[in-house]
Amino acid sequence: MTRSLSTGDLRSLWTLRRAMADSDVVFLHSSKAGALGRIATLSLPRRRSLLVFYPHAWSWEVGGKGAAVYRATEHLLAPVADRIVAVSGAEERRGRVVLGPRGRSRIEVIENGVDVDRFVAQGPCAALGSAPSVVCVGRLCDQKGQDLLVASMRDPRLADVSLFLVGDGPRADLLRAQARDAGIDDRVHLVGHADPRPYYRAADLVVLPSRWEGFSLVTLEAMACGANVLASPAAAADLGEDQGIFVIDAPDDPTGIATSIADALDVASGTDEFRRRARDVAVESFSLRRVEERYDRMLAALVAARPRGLAS
């Protein structure tokens, strides 16, 4: 299944239809699978499966000409799902505005989790040099906002800061050209695919400038590794300084991002307070164990309330 519409979607629809005829519970992740899966179940003469849909950021948040169509589609299809799992309270609140009463009644918040035994503060650190270092981990695409971050590096206040982009994606060449054209390609390093943990640990600041998110996994990974984290409101979800992370005040403005980077580097310099607080919050509130327990409870409640019309 691809992100964009294609003739292959008909094959995916048929595959989903067969899965729903043979499965007790079907989990649909992201908007494309969510729409096709709910359409598939409507086409069945007799419904068997319970459906759990995870938007992982609402489809209309991409913006553009299709936003109105995405809103209408989600509004119409929301009642087909037995549960709609929002991965943050912020995502849940945005969904309630659009989905209508029948859709809102199906939303349940189960935040993303992180493996706090794998993402730890102790371990190898990447060699990032002696200059102050900013690390950004994620797919190189419009959603993740790396172009805004690269543009912010032109600010004179960040003249001695190095940026490391960990990950790959369709915008890699454009970001490389953007840095070269701005004359800062000596300070902007495209690392490609790599284990992010050594970069989280070594960074003076992990910055997540996402334009939209459900709840950024990178935010939680960096927190679990005891990093200083600066995130856009979309990537931070409901987190803030009380939880050990900084939030970008003006996430759509490179100058505003530069201000937030300079301020965060200044505040965090010489103290491990934010690193310790972020690690503690990740362990106490977002460990996979806690998330698994909430999924167990959700599934038990779904099965207990299973409509009589569904096969058992």
In a domain, 257, yes or no: yes
Q: Is residue 311 part of a domain?
A: no
| Same domain, residue pair 185 and 254 | yes
Kindly state the average pLDDT of the residues 83-112. Answer: 92
pTM recorded for the entire structure: 0.88
- Report d(CA 97, CA 82) in Å as an integer: 19
Contact 218, 138 (CB under 8 A): yes
Mark whether 253 and 227 lie in a shared domain.
Answer: yes
Higher pLDDT among residues 10 and 96, named by residue: 96
Question: How do residues 231-249 score in pLDDT, each as one tens digit?
Answer: 999 999 999 999 999 999 9
Q: Is residue 122 part of a domain?
A: no
Q: What is the pLDDT of residues 258-279, one digit of tens each?
A: 999 999 999 998 899 999 999 9
Token couple for 92: 């849940």
CA distance to 60, 63, 64, 191, 211, per residue, from 69 (Å): 8, 10, 10, 37, 20
Shared domain check, 161 and 85: no
Residue 312: band (very low, low, confident or very high) from pLDDT cuts 50, 70, 90: very low
d(CA 180, CA 182): 5
Domain-embedded: residue 309:
no
Q: How confident is the model at residue 155 (pLDDT cuts 50, 70, 90)?
A: very high
pLDDT of 27 above 80: yes
Q: What is the CATH number of the domain that holds 243?
A: 3.40.50.2000
Tell whether 139 and 223 lie within a shared domain: yes
Residue 160 sits in the same domain as residue 223? yes
Residue 75 lies in a domain: yes
**Host domain of residue 300:** 8-113+289-304
The reply to whether 138 and 278 lie within a common domain is: yes
Let me know if residue 118 belongs to a domain.
no
> Is residue 163 a part of any domain in this protein?
yes
How far from 205 is each of 157, 228, 232, 266, 297, CA to CA, in Å? 15, 5, 13, 11, 37
Report whether pLDDT(91) > 50. yes
Looking at the predicted structure, is the pLDDT value of residue 55 above 50?
A: yes
Q: What is the mean pLDDT of residues 17-43?
A: 87
Q: Is the pLDDT of residue 309 over 80?
A: no
Percent of the chain clearing pLDDT 70 (strictly above): 97
Are residues 87 and 190 located together in one domain of the fold?
no
Q: Are residues 239 and 294 in the same domain?
A: no
What pLDDT band is residue 2 in, cutting at 50, 70 and 90? low
165 shares a domain with 78: no
Q: Count the domains in the chain.
A: 2
The per-residue pLDDT for 266 is 96
Looking at per-residue confidence, does 146 or 60 come out higher?
A: 146
pLDDT, average across residues 138-149: 97
What's the pLDDT at 44? 84
Q: Is residue 100 domain-shared with residue 167, that is, in the same domain?
A: no
Report pLDDT for 133: 97
pLDDT classification of 61: cutoffs 50, 70, 90: confident
Q: What is the pLDDT of residue 263?
A: 97
What span, in angstroms and rounded, lies between the C-alpha atoms of 116 and 114?
6
**Residue 103 and residue 156 in one domain:** no
**Beta pairing, strands 162-166 & 245-247:** unpaired
On whether both 281 and 293 belong to a single domain, the answer is no
What is the percentage of the chain residues whose pLDDT exceeds 90?
74
Mean per-residue pLDDT over the chain, rounded: 92
Instruction: Give the residue-averaged pLDDT of 216-239.
Output: 96
